[in-house]
Amino acid sequence: MDSYNAPESTPSASSRPEDYFIGATPLQKRLESVRKQSSFIPTPPRRKIPQCSQLQEDVDPQKVAFLLHKQWTLYSLTPLYKFSYSNLKEYSRHLNAFIVAEKQKGLAVEVGEDFNIKVIFSTLLGMKGTQRDPEAFLVQGLILSPRLEYSGTILVDCNLCLLGSSDPSTLAFQVAGTTGACHHTRILSKSQLPSENREDKVLWTGWFCCIFGDSLLETVSEDFTCLPLFLANGAESNTAIIGTWFQKTFDCYFSPLAINAFNLSWMAAMWTACKMDHYVATTEFLWSVPCSPQSLDISFAIHPEDAKALWDSVHKTPGEVTQEEVDLFMDCLYSHFHRHFKIHLSATRLVRVSTSVASAHTDGKIKILCHKYLIGVLAYLTELAIFQIE
């Protein structure tokens, strides 16, 4: 999150090799200042208010509509090694096999209802900030509902397969029809029909994206694909299984992204600054007061137009948000609350921020409500993810 300007010490003479640090990432700048033993006092960051114009180019609002109004858990992901967008079908099959194997692990012979989980990889077009950003892709786990006439036969065949094989990881490939009796292939060809008779319930969704990830893209080599932000919706156990597969296949690392109170207040300011035609939700803040025996929660709800009016009175530079403006905005809210209730909200911890654009919780949960500012919200989250990776 520290997109700082150059350090206060004057730039070095042009003959030294440190010159290439001029365009360096924040981490490199910090390391450089440690080496020079100068004191690195960064100037406070300025960020752009999310503009709604960035999304319009090639994204159909219908296609990304399923991303809105869902609670996503955030993870940061290190770059993926040797990932290629053309092998998505193969990755689907491998992941399918892995999930089936994981679910069967340690279980006695049993026909589980998860046996017909299907995993689909697909790319999400247009979810990028600049042309350099890699394409976002989506992983969905669906439960296939088989047609009723065949369900009995499927069960019996699967049972036979289980007893016969000793290696669980090849199990799914056997069922997939490479070997086996002829009735196997018949069932599978039926299930590949277009899905008018079938309702696939989406069990789990996860998507990887990178918005304005220039600072990370510069530092990694060609073999790596940088998609630092991962959002997951669905059961935690499924997230863990799929995460393990990615970690094994692409040598990457997931870690949960927590949002601290400092970043939440930035989000509150940036999202209040967004111009909206109509407001769908009130602007609400939630603070947690650590007191014994149990913590107290303070919730402060503001009419969104009042919040916007307050922001407009604080805001000076058009198109940009500075640290002072964020602090002033939050201080106004704190002093207003103090005047009425004599409680210092600044001594408590901001836990949740929710506006008409999006809502975020400190545990790393986010819900995006407005498709116009989707890219803007994701850009800030990508920044946080990149900061965590570094």
Partner 1 sequence: MSVLRPLDKLPGLNTATILLVGTEDALLQQLADSMLKEDCASELKVHLAKSLPLPSSVNRPRIDLIVFVVNLHSKYSLQNTEESLRHVDASFFLGKVCFLATGAGRESHCSIHRHTVVKLAHTYQSPLLYCDLEAGLQWCNHGSLQTRAPGLK
- Rounded least distance, CB 323 to partner 1, Å: 8
Q: Does 25 bind partner 1 (CB under 8 A)?
A: no
3-state secondary structure at position 366: strand
Distance in Å, CB of 262 to partner 1, minimum: 5
Site string for partner 1, 327-366 (x = CB under 8 A): ---x---x---------x-xxxxx-----------x----
CB 231 within 8 A of CB 366: yes
260 near partner 1 (CB under 8 A): yes
Q: How far is the CB of 41 from partner 1 (least distance, A)?
A: 6
Angle of CA points 361, 257, 96, to nearest 5°: 110
> Which of 190, 108, 207 is closest to 151 using CA atoms?
190
Among candidate residues 71, 203, 207, 73, the one with its CA nearest the CA of residue 135: 207
Question: Which of 10, 14, 15, 39 touches partner 1 (CB under 8 A)?
Answer: 39
Judge contact between 382 and 228, C-beta under 8 A. Answer: yes
Per CB under 8 A, 38 contacts partner 1: no
Binding to partner 1 by residue 225, rule CB under 8 A? Answer: no
Looking at 259, 274, 378, 384, which residue binds partner 1 (CB under 8 A)? 259
> Is-contact 281 304, C-beta < 8 A?
yes
89, two tokens: 């079908």
Per CB under 8 A, which region of 174-182, 203-211, 255-263, 294-302 contacts partner 1? 255-263
Q: What character string, x for contact with partner 1 (CB under 8 A) and - otherwise, covers 271-310? A: ----------------------------------------
The nearest distance, CB 201 to partner 1, in angstroms, is: 34
Can you tell me which of 22, 23, 36, 41 binds partner 1, judged by CB under 8 A?
41
Enumerate the H helices of the chain as residue ranges: 26-36, 61-64, 88-104, 148-164, 171-175, 182-191, 214-217, 236-250, 261-273, 304-314, 323-341, 374-389
Task: For the chain, report the end-to-end CA distance as a whole number of angstroms.
Answer: 10
Q: Which is nearer to partner 1, 373 or 387 (CB)?
A: 387
DSSP class of residue 15 equals T
Q: Which residues of this protein are in contact with partner 1, per CB under 8 A?
A: 2, 39, 41-42, 258-262, 265, 330, 334, 344, 346-350, 362
